[in-house]
Amino acid sequence: MKLKNIWRITLVLMILATSLPAISSNITSDPTKSSPAKNTELRTQQLMQRLEEIKASDKSELTRLEKKNLRKEVKEIKKEMAANKGGIYLSIGAVIIIILLLILLL
């Protein structure tokens, strides 16, 4: 095969890989169903409210074990909030492929 044909096939495959998931997604306009983004936003607000409650509480009257439990709860809340933020995650294989493509193209 010629190099020109390989590039065309690669380009077509990349376009299909990005467009097919958008076409196959199920679009519904049912207002009774809550979106996942709304649920995470509500959960984030609840977690922030709980953090404010913990911060405003009087910790001088708590026992050592209760303070330790509060610290653990705060750590878990922060971990959950960090997980809810989302983001773009790339696997190692995807990064290698991107780097190889960039090297070949440039």
Residue type for 18, please? T
For the four alpha carbons of 22, 26, 30 and 31, in that order, the dihedral sign comes to negative
Output the pTM of the full model. 0.48
Using CA atoms, how far residue 71 sits from 52, 64, 66, 77, in Å, is: 13, 11, 9, 10
pLDDT in tens, the chain (106 residues): 678 888 888 888 887 777 655 555 555 655 555 566 677 888 888 999 999 999 998 889 889 999 999 999 999 998 888 887 766 677 888 888 888 888 888 7
Helices of type H across the chain = 3-24, 36-56, 64-84, 92-105
CB distance 50 to 77 below 8 Å: yes
CB distance 51 to 71 below 8 Å: no
Looking at residue 14, what is its pLDDT? Answer: 80
